[in-house]
Amino acid sequence: MIIRIGTSEINGTFHRQGEAIASFLKPKYRVETIPMTGSSVGSALGLHKGDLEFGFSASNWVGRALRGEDPFVEAISLRMAAPANVGPMFFVVRADSDLFNVNDMVGRRVAVNYSDSGMFQHTKSIFEILGISFADFDPVYIGFEEGAEKLKAGEIDAQWQCPIPNPIMTNLSNGLEVRVLEYQPGQLEKVIEEGIFYRKAVMPQGSFRGVDKETSQVGVLNVIATHERVDRDKVEDFVTTMIEKAKELGKIQELFRGLNDLFTEIRDNGRSPIEPSGVILHEGALEAYRKAGLLE
C-alpha cells in the first residue's frame, strides 16, 4: 500500500516533517513525500485530485479549501488528520540595516515569497490587520533560497521567513550577520487577537546566529489534512503512528518538538484545537484519538 504526503519545497519545513513521519510508516507502507507548488494550497489541490492521501497545510488554508473560497475554485472535502507544529514566522534583515520593526518596511523592497504560496498569504493577513497596504512597500515575489541570496547581495531590504528551524535560514545566518524585526507595542497582540489562526510564538535567544535576545513573533498552527475518501484504516494508522511516535519525532526533527504538547491540548480541550474553520476530523483520525485516550 502507498501513502503519498504533500509537502513544501525540498528542505522546506513541511518536507522535512513529512520525511520524518515517513521514516516511521515505511515498515508498513510505501511512502512518498511530494513537494507541492504553493505548499498548503498545492496539497489541498492534490488531495482533491486524488494524487495524495495526506497534505501539510497552514491551518488558515483548510477552511478556505473546504468552502471553495479564493484561491480555490470549488469546494474540497478535506478532513483533519493531525497537528504538525506551531512555528514562528518572521522578517529578517541584515544586521547593519536601518530597519528595526515591521513598520520600518514601508517604502522598502521586501521578499514575501511566491504569490501563490501559503507563506505569502500570511504576509497579506498580517499587514491587513496592521493597516499596512502592499502599495506601501515594494513586494518581491521569490522563494526562500533566492530571497536569502538577494538579502546577502543587498538587493532587498527584508525577507519573510518560514518557521525555524529551517536550513535556508540557518545557512543565511551562518553566512551573513542578520537581525529579526520586532513588532511595535500592541501590534503582535492585535495580530493574534484578530487573526484566529495565529498564536504567540517565542524565538529563544540563540535560535540562530543573530537572535541575541528572546523575541516574540507570530506563530501559525500547521496541520496535516486528508480527504474524506481516503481509507479509514490508512488514516487511523497514520495518526496512531504520530501519536505513538510523537516524542521520537521530536528527537529526529526539531520542528516536532512541541508535537506531544499539541496532542495534550486535544486531550485537554477536545476536538476544537484540531478542527479549524469547521474542517472536521476524518473518521479514521477520530478513532485513533479515541483509542489513544485523547478523545472520548
Residue after which a domain boundary falls, among 192, 220, 248:
220
Model confidence, pTM: 0.78
User: Which pLDDT score, from 0 to 100, does residue 163 have?
Assistant: 82
In tens, the pLDDT along 66-96 reads 999 988 999 999 999 999 998 889 999 999 9
Nearest to 77 by CA among 230, 198, 195: 230
| Segments in the chain below pLDDT 70 | none
Examine the domain organization and report whether 101 and 170 are in the same domain: yes
With residues binned 3-state (H G I as helix, E B as strand, rest as coil), the percentages for the chain, rounded to 5, are 45, 25, 35
Q: What is the CATH number of the domain that holds 287?
A: 3.40.190.10
User: Which pLDDT score, from 0 to 100, does residue 9 have?
Assistant: 84
Cell of 236: 487511523
Q: For residue 296, tell me if it sits in a domain.
A: no
Q: For residue 42, tell me if it sits in a domain.
A: yes
Residue after which a domain boundary falls, among 175, 195, 220:
220
Which residues fall within 8 angstroms of residue 261, CB to CB, at 6 or more apart?
Answer: none
